[in-house]
Structure formats: C-alpha cells, structure tokens
Amino acid sequence: YGGHTQAIIQSGASVIGFDWDQTAVDSVTQTCSDFIAQNRLLIFHEAYSQMETIVRDLDQNVQDRILGILFDLGTSVPQLTSSQQGLSFATDGPLDMRMSPEKQGVTASDLLIFMSQKELTQVLRDFGGETDAVKLAKAIKTSPEPIKTTGQLVAIIEKIKHRTGKLHPATKVFQALRIAVNSEL
C-alpha cells in the first residue's frame, strides 16, 4: 500500500490521500509516518466521493497547494488475496466485498438476498458488462439456499459460464457486485 503516494511525495509534492480500506490507511500511516509528521501527507479513511467535502473543510493554504488528482481505483493485491474480504473468487470466504466494513452495512451476500432478479440482472449488465446477466441472475435468485460465500457464488457462475481465454467466468460478476456494494459509480 502507498506506492503511488510515496513516489509523489519523494518527487517533492504533498499528498492528500483517501481510502475506504482501513487496512490500507493503517499501512500507509505506518510506512509514511515521517511524511505525516512533516505535514506532507494527510490521509483520510473515507470514500473518494467525500473528497470535495473534506478538501473544502481544509485550511485555505492546503487547498491552494493542490496541483492535481490521482485516482488509483480498483482493488489491491492484498485485498484480492484475502479470503476474508470476499473480493476473490480464487479462495473461499464470506461473500462480503465491502471496502470499509466498519462504515458500510450491506454485504454482497445481502444484495443477492434482497435484490430482485431484475435488479440483479441490471447490476450485472451495467457494472460488469456481463452478457449472461439474465441467466446468472436467475441462477443466483433460484439458489435453494442463501449465497453466503464466494465459493457458493463461483459454483453457480461456473454452471452457467465456462472459461474462455484468460478471464475467469466469475470476474465480471464479482466486479459488478463490488461496484454495487461500494457505490463506486
């Protein structure tokens, strides 16, 4: 965590950072503690969507020094390799997908339970570009038991879709659910 931040600061600039993942914030806070002490790094445990409000509340001298914005969107390797966050289809874990569990209530599993088949189809299409959205949504919604783990969801997906090329059949579904859970768009 914090590779871009460190590179920018080492070039002479200061950084205002936002991340919804508390683990990422903690990691950057620890590895960049010298920059924080020098007032060259401000880090906020908030979503990017809160940036305007937070920056507006900063001192005018800080606001005047803002020269650009870098968005490093998406998931990090630690997030994808942790089975506990539910972002990976490679390992079984709880179907969570929240970037900030302490600030968000609804998990991916919750969405699958409470969304209608039509709403789920729309999410899979709009946020994942999933061409088999209708079939997948139907299979998910007609599952005999609630889908609580990544492994359960992958098993359903693999019954509908088969690997073609490098892309895992669950990639677009997981992307769509992550975007929906975290209100990324």
- Is a pLDDT exceeding 90 seen at residue 134? yes
3-state secondary structure of 44: strand
| pLDDT mean over 63-77 | 73
- Is a pLDDT exceeding 70 seen at residue 78? no
CA–CA dist 65, 128 (Å, integer): 37
| This prediction's pTM | 0.73
Reported confidence tier of residue 72, pLDDT bands at 50, 70, 90: low
Contacts 24+ apart (CB under 8 A), 125-130: 126/176, 127/175, 127/176, 127/177, 127/179, 127/180, 127/185, 128/172, 128/173, 128/175, 128/176, 128/177, 128/179, 129/172, 130/172, 130/173, 130/176
Rounded-to-5 percentages of helix, strand, coil across the chain: 50, 5, 45
- Domains identified in the chain and CATH numbers: 3-64 (no CATH), 77-181 (1.10.150.170)
Task: Identify each DSSP E strand in 24-94 by its residue range.
Answer: 41-44
Reported confidence tier of residue 33, pLDDT bands at 50, 70, 90: very high
